C-alpha cells in the first residue's frame, strides 16, 4: 500500500492513530504466550539482554474516575485496598528484582491513577523497594498528584519531597469549572493556587502541570484562558494532552471533534506558551522554561528518545522490554483479585504478553518516539542494529517530499510545523503491515462522517454568528481549466470531503476580496490578488450549509500549475490540483459541484 493512502487514512482515523500502539488491546493476540514457563523464560531472557532499564509503578486509585480517563483505575476502592495493594505490589517488585539484579536503572516514575492517594507509610515502602535497585545518580524520580491532595495535605507533599522525589506532576486539565463538572472532576482556582503554593513550600523546583484539549464541549476561549492562567502560576513545565477518547466514557463524542479543532487548540497553546518563554520542538507536548531541560521525567525521556526498555509494576501496568510487550492482570477488568492470586503463587502477574516479530517491535518503538516529535538515528540503531534510512526509504522520501519531516542534522529526523499538524497520518506509515490492515478495517467500521456531523451540530452555537453569514469560495483553475485546486476538509460539516478553498468573511477583513485572498493563502499556501472582476457567482440558497444561512461569493482565477505547489494549512487536511473530469457530486462538500459546473458553463 502506498504512503499517501496510509497517510490519508491515518488523518481520518486520528483519534486512534496516535503514539499508543497497538490499536486495540487484543491486536497482538497471534503472538501471545500462554504457558507460565514460556512467559517467565521470555521475560527473563529479554530483561537480561538489556544494558539498562526504566521502571514504572502504577497506583490504580483516585478520588473519582474522570470521564476522560483511559487508564486502569478502580471505580470503588475500599478503605483497606491501598494497604493490601501496596503489599502485593512489593511482592511483584521483589519477583522482578530477582531477574533485574544490579542492572542500571536510568528512569523511574510513580504514576497512576493518583500515587499521592496512598498513605505516607505506603509511599515510603514503595520508594524503598525501588531504591533497592541500581538507580543511577542523575535521574529525576517523578511522582504525580492531584490539585485537591496537594492543596489539602501539604504534609504529604513535603514527605514526598523528603523521600527523594525531585519532579512532581499535577493535572489541572482545565480551569473551566463548567467543563470540569461535565468531566466528573473537581477543581477551582483557589484549589490550584493553594496546591502550587504547597508544592513550592515543600521544596519542589521542578513542577509540571498537565492540561487537556480537544474536548467536544471545550471552546477555544476556555482553553486559551486555561493556558494563560497556568502560565501565570509559573510551573517549570506545562504538558498538553490531547483527549484521546479511546477506551473512555467520552468515546461516543469523538467523531464530533475534528482534527482541525485539535490542531487549532494546540496552535493557540503553542503561541501563548512560546510568548511566555516555554519551549518545545515541533510535535512535542511538554513545554519547558528551563534551558536545556526537556521538561519530562527521566523515565519518559529515556524510553522515548533512546528507546530504553521499561518494566511496569502494578495492576494493568504495561511493560515493553526487548521483543515483548506485556500488560499486567487487571488491564481489562480493573479488578485486583487475579493480580493478587498470581503473586500469592509467585507468578509474574501478567495478563497478556506478546513475543513480537521485529516489524511489531519497530512499530511500537517508533510510535512512542513520536511523543517527542523526532526520531534519533543513533537511538534507533542502538535498539535495532540497523540503519533507519535503509529500512524506511519510502517513508522518508514521502515525508520529505511533502514537507512533513526533515533531517535537521545527521542524527535527528524531526517533524516540521506542517508535519506536527499531520502527526496522526505520519505515525501509521511506520506501522507493521498487520496493523496497517487493522487500521483500515477498524476505520471502515468506525468512521461515520454523518454521525460526527450530527454530534458537532448538536453543540454548534448558531447565535454566536451573524445571520446571514457571508462566505467566499475560490475556483482556482490551471491555465487550460482542466485542473482545479481543491482541499480536503478537516472540519465539520462535510469533514473529509473535497471542497473549494474558502471560508467566512470576517469583521477584520477590509473587503470581501481580501477575505478571498486570505482564505486561499490560509488553506492552500497559494498567494493571489483577487479582485472584483474575478467574481463569478453569488449563492444565497438557505439550505446550502447545515450550520445556518450562509451566502457565498465565488471568485474564479487561473494560475500556472507548474509554478504553484499547494500546501494545506488551516482547516484543510491537504490541498492539491484535481482533474476536473474526475469530479463527482458525491465527493464534494456543500453545493460546490454546482458552483464548479456553473463556472465551466456546463
Partners of 436 in beta bridges:
none
How confident is the model at residue 25, as a pLDDT?
84
Give the residue from 57, 125, 35, 95 showing the smallest Cα distance to 315: 57
CA–CA separation, 347 and 40 (whole Å): 8
Mean pLDDT per 10-residue section of the chain, whose length is 602 residues: 95 88 92 96 98 97 68 84 97 98 97 92 98 94 94 96 96 71 66 95 96 85 91 96 68 76 90 95 92 93 94 97 97 93 97 97 96 95 96 98 96 95 95 97 86 75 75 95 94 92 93 94 92 94 89 95 85 89 93 93 84
CA–CA separation, 342 and 299 (whole Å): 27
CA-CA distances (angstroms) from residue 492 to 141, 293, 459? 43, 39, 12
197 by DSSP, 3-state: which? Answer: helix
CA–CA separation, 394 and 205 (whole Å): 45
Cα three-residue angle 219-225-231, rounded to 5 degrees: 140
How confident is the model at residue 67, as a pLDDT?
59
CA–CA separation, 13 and 228 (whole Å): 31
Q: Is the peptide bond before 113 cis (omega within 30 degrees of 0)?
A: yes
Cβ proximity of 12 and 355 under 8 Å: no
Cβ proximity of 320 and 310 under 8 Å: yes
How confident is the model at residue 185, as a pLDDT?
57
How confident is the model at residue 256, as a pLDDT?
80
How confident is the model at residue 172, as a pLDDT?
81
- Cα distance between the two ends of the chain: 37
Cβ proximity of 136 and 106 under 8 Å: yes
How confident is the model at residue 184, as a pLDDT?
58
Residue 370 CB burial class (10 angstroms; 0-12, 13-18, ≥19): buried
* Total residue count of the chain as it appears in this document: 602
- List domains and CATH numbers for the chain: 30-140+297-355 (no CATH), 168-295 (3.30.750.200), 359-444 (1.10.10.920), 460-600 (3.90.79.10)
Give the residue from 494, 504, 551, 502 showing the smallest Cα distance to 530: 502
Instruction: Give the ranges where 370-506 is alpha helix by DSSP (H).
Output: 377-384, 388-391, 393-401, 417-420, 423-426, 433-446, 449-459
Partners of 59 in beta bridges:
112
Q: Per the structure block, which three cell numbers stand in for 156?
A: 504529604
Q: Which residue has the cell 472584483?
A: 532
Which distant-in-sequence residues (6+ apart) come within 8 Å of 344 by Cβ?
none
CA–CA separation, 402 and 142 (whole Å): 38
How confident is the model at residue 66, as a pLDDT?
60
580 by DSSP, 3-state: which? Answer: helix
Helix (H) or strand (E) holding 578: strand 572-579
How confident is the model at residue 567, as a pLDDT?
87
**Chain centroid offset of residue 280 CA:** 15
CA-CA distances (angstroms) from residue 485 to 66, 526, 576, 593? 44, 10, 6, 13
**Strand boundaries in 270-329, DSSP class E:** 286-288, 310-313, 318-321, 324-328
How confident is the model at residue 559, as a pLDDT?
94
Amino acid at each position: 500500500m502506498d504512503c499517501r493512502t496510509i497517510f490519508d487514512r491515518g488523518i481520518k482515523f486520528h483519534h486512534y492513530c496516535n503514539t499508543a500502539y497497538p490499536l486495540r488491546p487484543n491486536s497482538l493476540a497471534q503472538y501471545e504466550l500462554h504457558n507460565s514457563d514460556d512467559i517467565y523464560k521470555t521475560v527473563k531472557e529479554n530483561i537480561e539482554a538489556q544494558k539498562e532499564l526504566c521502571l514504572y509503578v502504577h497506583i490504580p486509585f483516585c478520588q473519582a474516575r474522570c470521564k476522560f480517563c483511559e487508564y486502569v483505575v478502580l471505580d470503588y476502592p475500599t478503605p483497606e485496598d491501598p494497604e493490601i495493594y501496596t503489599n502485593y505490589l512489593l511482592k511483584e517488585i521483589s519477583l522482578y528484582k530477582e531477574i533485574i539484579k544490579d542492572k542500571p536503572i536510568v528512569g523511574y516514575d510513580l504514576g497512576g491513577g493518583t500515587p499521592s492517594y496512598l498513605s505516607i507509610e505506603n509511599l515510603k515502602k514503595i520508594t524503598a523497594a525501588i531504591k533497592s535497585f541500581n538507580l543511577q545518580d542523575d535521574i529525576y524520580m517523578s511522582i504525580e498528584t492531584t490539585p485537591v491532595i496537594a492543596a489539602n495535605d501539604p504534609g504529604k507533599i513535603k514527605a514526598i519531597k523528603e523521600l527523594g522525589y525531585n519532579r512532581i506532576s499535577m493535572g489541572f486539565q482545565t480551569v473551566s469549572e463548567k467543563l470540569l463538572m461535565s468531566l466528573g472532576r473537581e477543581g477551582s482556582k483557589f484549589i490550584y493556587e493553594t496546591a502550587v503554593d504547597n508544592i513550592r513550600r515543600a521544596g519542589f523546583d521542578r513542577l509540571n502541570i498537565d492540561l487537556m484539549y480537544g474536548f467536544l464541549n471545550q471552546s477555544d476561549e476556555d482553553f486559551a484562558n486555561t493556558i494563560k492562567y497556568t502560565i501565570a502560576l509559573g510551573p517549570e513545565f506545562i504538558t498538553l494532552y490531547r483527549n484521546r477518547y479511546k477506551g473512555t466514557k467520552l468515546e461516543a463524542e469523538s467523531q464530533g471533534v475534528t482534527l482541525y479543532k485539535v490542531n487549532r487548540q494546540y496552535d493557540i497553546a503553542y503561541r501563548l506558551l512560546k510568548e511566555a518563554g516555554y519551549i518545545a520542538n515541533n510535535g512535542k507536548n511538554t513545554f519547558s522554561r528551563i534551558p536545556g531541560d526537556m521538561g519530562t521525567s527521566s523515565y519518559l525521556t529515556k524510553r522515548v528518545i533512546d528507546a530504553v526498555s521499561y518494566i511496569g509494576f502494578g495492576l494493568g501496568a504495561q511493560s515493553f522490554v526487548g521483543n515483548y510487550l506485556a500488560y499486567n492482570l487487571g488491564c481489562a477488568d480493573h479488578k485486583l483479585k487475579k493480580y493478587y492470586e498470581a503473586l500469592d503463587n509467585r507468578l509474574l502477574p501478567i495478563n497478556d504478553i506478546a513475543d513480537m516479530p521485529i516489524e511489531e517491535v519497530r512499530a511500537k518503538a517508533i510510535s512512542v518516539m513520536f511523543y517527542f516529535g523526532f526520531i534519533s538515528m543513533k537511538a534507533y540503531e542502538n535498539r535495532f542494529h540497523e540503519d533507519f534510512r535503509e529500512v524506511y526509504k519510502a517513508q522518508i522520501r514521502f515525508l520529505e517530499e511533502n514537507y512533513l519531516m526533515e533531517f535537521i542534522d545527521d542524527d535527528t529526523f524531526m517533524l516540521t510545523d506542517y508535519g506536527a499538524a499531520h502527526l496522526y497520518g505520519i505515525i501509521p506509515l511506520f506501522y507493521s503491515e498487520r496493523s496497517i490492515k487493522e487500521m483500515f478495517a477498524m476505520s471502515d467500521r468506525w468512521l461515520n462522517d454523518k454521525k460526527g456531523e450530527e454530534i458537532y451540530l448538536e453543540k454548534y452555537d448558531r447565535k454566536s454568528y451573524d445571520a446571514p453569514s457571508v462566505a467566499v469560495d475560490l475556483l482556482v483553475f490551471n491555465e487550460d481549466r482542466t485542473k482545479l485546486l481543491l482541499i480536503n476538509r478537516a472540519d465539520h460539516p462535510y469533514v473529509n470531503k473535497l471542497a473549494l478553498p474558502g471560508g467566512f468573511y470576517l469583521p477584520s477583513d477590509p473587503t470581501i476580496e481580501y477575505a478571498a485572498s486570505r482564505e486561499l493563502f490560509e488553506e492552500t499556501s497559494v498567494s493571489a490578488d483577487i479582485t472584483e472582476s474575478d467574481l463569478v457567482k453569488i449563492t444565497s440558497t438557505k439550505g446550502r450549509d447545515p450550520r445556518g444561512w450562509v451566502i457565498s461569493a465565488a471568485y474564479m482565477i487561473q494560475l500556472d500549475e507548474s509554478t504553484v505547489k499547494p500546501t494545506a494549512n488551516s482547516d484543510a487536511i491537504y490541498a492539491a490540483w484535481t482533474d476536473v473530469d474526475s469530479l463527482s457530486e458525491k465527493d464534494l462538500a456543500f453545493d460546490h459541484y454546482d458552483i464548479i459546473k456553473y463556472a465551466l458553463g456546463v
